[in-house]
Amino acid sequence: VIPRVTRHLLSNPVFSCITLAACMEIAVVAGFAAFLGKYLEQQFHLTTSSANQLLGMTAIPCACLGIFLGGLLVKKLSLSALGAVRMAMLVNLVSTACYVSFLFLGCDTGPVAGVTVNYSNETSPSRSPPAPSCISNCNCRTASASPVCGSNAVTYLSACFAGCTRANLSGCWCVSGSSAQAVASPGRCPRPGCQEAFLTFLCVVCVCSMIGAMAQTPSVIILIRTVSPERKSYALGVLFLLLRLIGFIPPPLIFGMGIDSTCLFWSTVCGERGACLLYDNLAYRHLYVSIAIVLKSSAFLLYATTWRCLRKNYRQYIRNGEGALTPSQLFASSLTLDHLG
């Protein structure tokens, strides 16, 4: 019985398309949000705790508000299945535009001695730090990085790579041959316009989280209004199963592999490659955001296909899907969506 019912549901183009569209939307959340804290660290030079606190105070509350507003709009406008599809398409387009804006909001990697520039502050094609005379006897380790900013506005992977001879980050002979200028400060060198870009990014993330979450309720409305009453509960179960299988498992792996490909310098532990210590911020931003845009665009195409199928055979779908959703079904679907958001 179960294989036959499942086959019947999946052969329904509206059910298949709206389910896959929901999977693409959740894939963006699962992949993009999973690495968003790390993205903020790399792009805007934030600490891990600051990045996570900012996300918790902004993106998550906005997403919850979006789920509420999506349900409120569906109720107030008394949207039909076709109206819900149009709303989902509109919301998708606006949120995709927000993601496109992320391509232009970020900071570049800047000059990093021995990685992006050599020790004479010239562009370097090498991705492994050389051993200039100023640190030839230092035996600097690459198991981890504690960046310092030299007085010459060049970032060094650590105080050791800057040739610092004192704990107060002075006597850094790779920075300057002059003792008065041979100093460094903790952290990466600041990049011009980075703070302004971060504030804009944070505002767009809030808007994007809220608008993107508004598509969740219309998706469920479309599903329950185009499936026969006796199959509504089972259809919701299949929807949430596929959301977990397609929307939550592959995306973090895909995003992770893409991010790793933008690494400029890897740590080395006992001769084995460890974690990435430095990324190409421009390539990181473009690849990370582009994956999300591709997923959002795929969702839009699936919404458009759903709208076309519904419009072509609207009476048939609505007649087959007549019947109200029971309170237990509505509560279960809303609870699950709140959890996913």
DSSP string, 155-224: EESSTTTTT--STTSB--TTT-SSTTT-BEEESPPP-TTHHHHHHHHHHHHHHHHHHHHTTHHHHHHHHH
Give a yes or no: residue 341 inside a domain.
no
For residue 57, which amino acid is it? M
Beta bridge pairs of residue 150 = 184
C-alpha neighbours within 13 Å on the C-beta side of residue 16: 10
Q: Which two tokens stand for residue 7?
A: 């086959």
Task: Give me the pLDDT at residue 322, please.
Answer: 44
Whether 121 and 32 map to the same domain: the answer is no
Give the burial string for 153-184 (b: 16+ CB within 10 Å, else e).
ebbbbbbbbbbbeeeebebbbbbeeeeeebbb
Range of the domain at 176: 111-190
Q: 200 in a domain, yes or no?
A: yes
Q: Quote the pLDDT of residue 341.
A: 41
Q: 27 and 156, same structural domain? A: no
Q: Kindly state whether residue 118 falls inside one of the protein's structural domains.
A: yes
> Are residues 235 and 263 both part of a single domain?
yes
Paired tokens of 4: 């036959």
Q: How many domains does the chain have?
A: 2
Q: Is 249 helix (H, G, I), strand (E, B) or coil?
A: coil
pLDDT of residue 93: 94
Let me know whether 68 and 156 are in one domain: no
pLDDT tens for the 341 residues of the chain, in order: 567 888 888 888 888 899 999 999 999 988 988 888 889 888 888 877 888 888 888 888 898 898 889 888 888 888 888 888 899 999 999 999 999 999 999 888 888 888 888 876 555 554 444 456 777 777 888 787 888 998 888 898 888 888 888 888 888 888 876 766 788 888 888 888 888 888 899 999 999 989 988 888 888 888 887 777 778 888 888 888 888 899 899 999 999 999 999 998 888 887 788 888 889 999 999 999 999 999 999 999 999 998 888 887 766 555 555 444 443 443 344 444 444 44
Supply the pTM of this predicted model: 0.82
Is residue 300 located within the same domain as residue 259?
yes
C-alpha of 248 from chain center: 13
Same domain, 72 and 25: yes
What is residue 179's predicted lDDT score, i.e. its pLDDT?
A: 67
* Residue-level pLDDT at 284: 94
Domain boundary among 173, 190, 207: 190
